[in-house]
């Protein structure tokens, strides 16, 4: 691909999808102006869940790696943020900044080690699902039982992060509307990074691995290396989402690492549209928003409804919501 | 104070419970290839059937008959509505069955509420064997595990149905051409797997009670049993897998906390899967 082609691909050719993304970003930017701070708080949560969903969307949609343990990275990121406030790893520096650097680094490293261990021996499909599921169960158990580090069921409280430049200003984002913009920025940034990845030559190779790993391997690609790298990126993204989530909620407890969240993310991505980054994001936002609304109407029964919708999507509407809309309006493939 | 007899009995008991819990999955996942994440939920249904039956004044033994039937019917609904469309899409069986797991768990909450229920234990008195006091029910469970394992193995290895079932699973097109009713064989095999999960639920209910998450704990363990033992290895795989996953966790819990033991065993299982993905007894 020439440089010009690359630019075209990276920035799109003002197709339907670009318009949709721009519209979404503008709506996202304006939303807090018309809605209450409480809504801003909820929406900020949805965006961070959407970022978590995006990390799975990248893995599942573009390399075909289905992880049932993505929440483990999210949870670890959340705990890293909490520990950063608790122990002040680097004195004199904004602990939130430290955590936002540490979370992706630590998660990336852990994902790298797991990738080396698992992908290089060709662990995949159901085996990978069960192993990631087990890892997420293990981490949740540790978080519950090792109270000295994780605070057990009582969790760890932490303050809302501040935006600061040392010696210039230090502003705590206690206002939910302001924090909303941090999460919007993180989501859009995460999306652009993922889109950049899937539209590069690297991304082409990932798709080839998803289509037919054996063939890609025989063409000389070190597929395990590719998978490990993407797993690291996804882990890092989920870690950032978790770190921001911790300081948004100002509280971290074992369920953020756990089994239930891990499997919920899979549902968000499947319903939104596996195979599309925008599908993952949409699923993350839509389902969480819907569950807030539904749970006020039908209490916990919304899980029942969600389960039925999920089964229907898996059996009959495999492309998910965004997948069908994108097909209908011809938005292209790498959204 | 650690005495040898209780280590052996604990290990044996943990292994037996896992055999009972994993056997249904060994059929549905190990043989049929359906990645049944609703396995835990089916066990939960079995436990609740035991609660409902005993609560209605009937004996727990009635529950041992009713639970497999009820859960096999749940399996029938799952298989007929959804799973039969997905036999060639394994990843989707995983997703769809997880959907079922959520639905079943929520329905249980609707019907029985969210609080845990207890189920009477038919053999609560301990019995002394070789100087150790063992709860009778544990001995019964060990016998049940051995019995179920043998009966299931013989059924699939030697009976007409078992041979047909294995033929259909291996090559359904060929089996169909030879005159086997593929649809009904798949259906019955799935129902047997589900029924065994239901029996498992009824069997563990007197010990752990019934609550909406009862089966969830057995889900990951059962998968490890089947994978570590070797998919498709009904007898040796289930026995060996259960011994490794359940037995070693029980043995380890004598020297450390239960959580730590579980963590070590899961890590061990992951290493086994990595080094020997076909399972300890798989790959002839």
Task: Tell whether A144 is within 8 A of chain B (Cβ).
Answer: yes
Q: Do B103 and A308 touch (CB under 8 A)?
A: yes
Across the interface, do A130 and B223 touch by the CB < 8 Å criterion? yes
Could you report how far apart the first and last alpha carbons of chain A are, in Å? 19
Task: Give CA–CA dist B60/B20, Å, rounded.
Answer: 17
Residue B128 reports pLDDT greater than 80: no
State the pLDDT at residue B185. Answer: 85
Question: Do the Cβ atoms of B273 and A307 come within 8 Å?
Answer: no
Q: Which residue of B has its CA nearest to A313?
A: B96
Q: What pLDDT score does A334 carry?
A: 67
How many Cβ pairs within 8 Å bridge chains A and B? 102
Q: What is the DSSP secondary structure assignment for residue A189, as one 8-state letter?
A: H
Nearest CA distance, B41 vs chain A (angstrom)? 13
Residues 53-82 of B with CB under 8 A from A: 82
Evaluate if residue B55 carries a pLDDT over 80: yes
CA B268, distance to chain mean position in Å, is 21
The answer, for B263 touching chain A at a CB cutoff of 8 Å, is yes
Helix (H/G/I), strand (E/B), else coil: A13? coil
Which chain B residues have a beta carbon less than 8 Å from that of A259?
Answer: 216
Chain B touched by A127 (CB under 8 Å): yes
Please tell me if residue B224 touches chain A, with a CB cutoff of 8 Å: yes
Instruction: Tell me, yes or no, if the pTM score tops 0.80.
Output: yes
Identify all chain A residues contacting B223, using CB atoms and an 8 Å cutoff: 130, 133
> A35 at the B interface (CB within 8 A)?
no
Residue B239 CB-density burial (10 A; 0-12 exposed, 13-18 middle, 19+ buried): buried
B94 contacts in A (CB within 8 Å)? Answer: 66, 126, 129
- Closest partner CB to A300 (pick from B100, B109, B274): B109
Question: Would you call B245 an interface residue with chain A, using a CB distance cutoff of 8 Å?
Answer: no
- Distance (Å, rounded) from C-alpha B77 to C-alpha A105? 47
With an 8 Å Cβ cutoff, are A138 and B99 in contact?
Answer: no
- Per the CB < 8 Å rule, is A307 touching B110? no
Residues of A in contact with B274 (CB under 8 A): 117-118, 121, 123
Instruction: Choose between B37 and A17: higher pLDDT.
Output: B37
Please tell me which residue of chain B has the smallest CA distance to A125: B91
Whole-number pLDDT of residue A332: 66
Cβ A129–B98 below 8 Å, yes or no? Answer: no
Return the residue of B nearest to A119 by Cα: B274
The end-to-end CA distance of chain B, in Å, is: 43
CA distance B205 to chain A (A): 23
Residue range B79-124, pLDDT digits in tens: 999 998 888 888 889 899 999 999 999 999 989 988 888 888 877 7
- Position A17 scores a pLDDT of 66
pLDDT at residue B66 is higher than 80: yes
- A42 at interface of B, judged by CB pairs closer than 8 A: no
Round the average pLDDT of chain B to a whole number and report it. Answer: 86
Are A54 and A284 in contact by the 8 Å Cβ rule? The answer is yes
Chain B nearest C-alpha distance from A333 (Å): 22
pLDDT cut 90: percent of chain B above it: 30
pLDDT grade for B131, boundaries at 50, 70 and 90: low
In whole angstroms, how far apart are CA A285 and each of A59, A101, A184, A277, A290? 18, 25, 12, 13, 8
C-alpha closest to that of A253 among A172, A137, A154: A154
Phi then psi dihedrals of residue A84, to 5 deg: -60, -40
Within an 8 Å CB–CB cutoff, is residue B90 touching chain A? yes
Question: Chain A within 8 Å of B136 (Cβ-Cβ)?
Answer: no
Residue B268 has pLDDT above 50, yes or no: yes
Sort B3 into a burial class: Cβ within 10 Å, 0-12 / 13-18 / 19+: exposed
List A residues 208-247 in contact with B (Cβ-Cβ < 8 A).
none
Report how far residue A168's alpha carbon sits from residue A152's, in angstroms, rounded to the nearest whole number: 38
Residue B227 phi, psi (nearest 5): -70, -45
b (16+ CB within 10 A) / e for A242-275 = bbbbbbbbebbbbbbbbbebbbbbbbbbbbbbbb
CB nearest to A134's CB, from B96, B107, B266: B266
Give the distance from residue B120's alpha carbon to the nearest chain A alpha carbon, in angstroms. 29
Query: Which region among A133-137, A198-202, B37-41, B152-156 has the lowest average model confidence (pLDDT)?
Result: A133-137
- 8 Å CB contact of B100 and A307: yes
**Nearest CA to CA, how far is B28 from chain A (Å)?**
14
Q: Which residues of A touch B263 (CB under 8 A)?
A: 138, 141-142
Question: Which of B:183-202 have CB within 8 Å of A?
Answer: none
* CA B271 – CA B176 distance, rounded (Å): 39
Separation CA A319–CA B110 (nearest Å): 31
B78 min Cα distance to partner chain A (Å): 11
> What is the pLDDT at residue A78?
95
| Chain B neighbors of A310, CB-CB under 8 A | 95-96, 98-99, 102
Domains of chain A: 3-328 (1.10.3470)
B132, pLDDT greater than 80: no
- Cβ neighbours of B261 in A, within 8 Å: none
Give chain A positions within 8 Å (CB) of B105: 303
Q: What is the pLDDT of residue B191?
A: 93
A333 touches B at CB < 8 Å: no
Instruction: Give Cβ neighbours of residue A212 (< 8 Å, ≥ 6 apart).
Output: none
Q: Which residue in chain B has the smallest CA separation from A60?
A: B91
Helix H segments across chain A?
3-11, 16-34, 37-63, 70-87, 95-118, 125-145, 147-150, 176-198, 201-211, 213-218, 223-249, 259-273, 277-298, 302-316, 320-328
Please state, in angstroms and rounded to a whole number, the distance separating the CA atoms of residues A49 and A81: 16
Q: Does B257 touch chain A (CB under 8 A)?
A: yes
Contacts of A127 in chain B (CB under 8 A): 227, 273, 277
Contacts of B187 (CB under 8 A, 6+ apart): B76, B79, B80, B84
Q: How far is CA B225 from the centre of its chain?
A: 10
How far is residue B89's CA from residue B70's CA, in Å, rounded to a whole number? Answer: 27
All residue ranges of chain A with pLDDT < 50 are 1-4, 7-14
Q: What is the pLDDT of residue B104?
A: 94
């Amino acid at each position: 691909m020439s440089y010009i082609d690359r630019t075209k691909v990276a920035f799109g050719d003002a197709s339907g999808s670009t318009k949709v993304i721009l519209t979404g970003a503008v709506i996202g930017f304006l939303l807090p102006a018309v809605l209450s701070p409480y809504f801003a708080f909820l929406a900020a949560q949805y965006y961070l869940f959407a970022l978590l969903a995006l990390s799975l969307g990248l893995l599942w949609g573009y390399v075909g790696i289905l992880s049932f343990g993505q929440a483990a990275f999210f949870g670890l990121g959340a705990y890293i943020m909490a520990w950063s406030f608790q122990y002040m790893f680097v004195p004199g520096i904004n602990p939130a900044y430290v955590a936002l650097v540490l979370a992706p680094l630590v998660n990336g490293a852990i994902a790298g080690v797991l990738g080396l261990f698992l992908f290089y021996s060709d662990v995949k499909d159901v085996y990978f699902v069960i192993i990631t599921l087990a890892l997420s169960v293990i981490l949740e158990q540790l978080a519950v039982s090792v109270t000295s580090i994780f605070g057990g069921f009582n969790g760890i409280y932490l303050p809302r992060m501040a935006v600061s430049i040392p010696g210039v200003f230090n502003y705590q984002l206690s206002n939910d509307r302001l924090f909303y913009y941090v999460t919007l920025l993180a989501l859009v940034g995460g999306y652009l990074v993922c889109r950049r990845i899937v539209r590069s030559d690297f991304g082409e190779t990932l798709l080839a691995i998803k289509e037919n790993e054996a063939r890609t391997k025989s063409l000389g690609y070190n597929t395990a290396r590719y998978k490990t790298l993407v797993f690291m990126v996804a882990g890092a993204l989920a870690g950032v989402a978790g770190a921001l989530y911790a300081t948004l909620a100002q509280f971290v407890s074992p369920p953020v690492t756990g089994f239930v969240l891990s499997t919920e993310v899979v549902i968000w991505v499947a319903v939104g549209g596996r195979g599309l980054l925008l599908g993952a994001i949409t699923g993350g936002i839509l389902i969480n928003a819907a569950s807030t609304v539904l749970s006020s109407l039908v209490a916990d029964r919304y899980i029942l409804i969600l389960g039925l919708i999920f089964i229907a999507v898996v059996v009959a509407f495999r492309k998910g919501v965004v997948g069908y809309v994108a097909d209908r309006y011809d938005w292209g493939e790498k959204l | 104070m650690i005495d040898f007899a209780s280590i052996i009995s604990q290990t044996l008991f943990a292994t037996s419970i896992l055999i009972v819990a994993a056997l249904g999955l060994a059929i549905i996942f190990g043989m049929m290839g359906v990645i049944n994440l609703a396995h835990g939920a089916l066990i939960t249904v079995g436990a609740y059937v035991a609660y409902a039956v005993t609560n209605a004044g009937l004996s727990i033994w009635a529950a041992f008959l009713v639970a497999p039937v009820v859960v096999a019917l749940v399996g029938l609904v799952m298989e007929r509505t959804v799973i039969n469309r997905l036999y060639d899409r394994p990843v989707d069986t995983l997703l769809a069955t997880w959907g079922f797991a959520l639905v079943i768990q929520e329905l249980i909450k609707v019907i029985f509420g969210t609080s845990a229920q207890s189920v009477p234990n038919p053999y609560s008195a301990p019995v002394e064997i070789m100087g150790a006091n063992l709860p009778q029910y544990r001995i019964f469970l060990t016998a049940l595990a051995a019995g179920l394992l043998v009966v299931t193995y013989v059924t699939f290895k030697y009976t007409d149905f078992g041979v047909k079932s294995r033929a259909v699973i291996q090559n359904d097109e060929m089996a169909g051409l030879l005159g086997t009713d593929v649809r009904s064989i798949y259906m019955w095999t799935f129902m047997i797997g589900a029924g065994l999960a239901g029996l498992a639920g009824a069997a563990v209910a007197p010990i752990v009670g019934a609550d909406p998450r009862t089966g969830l704990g057995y889900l990951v363990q059962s998968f490890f049993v089947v994978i570590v033992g070797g998919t498709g290895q009904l007898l040796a795989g289930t026995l060996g897998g259960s011994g490794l996953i359940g037995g070693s966790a029980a043995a380890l819990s004598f020297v450390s906390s239960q959580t730590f033991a579980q963590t070590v065993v899961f890590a061990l299982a992951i290493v086994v899967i990595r080094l020997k993905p076909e399972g300890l007894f798989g790959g002839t």
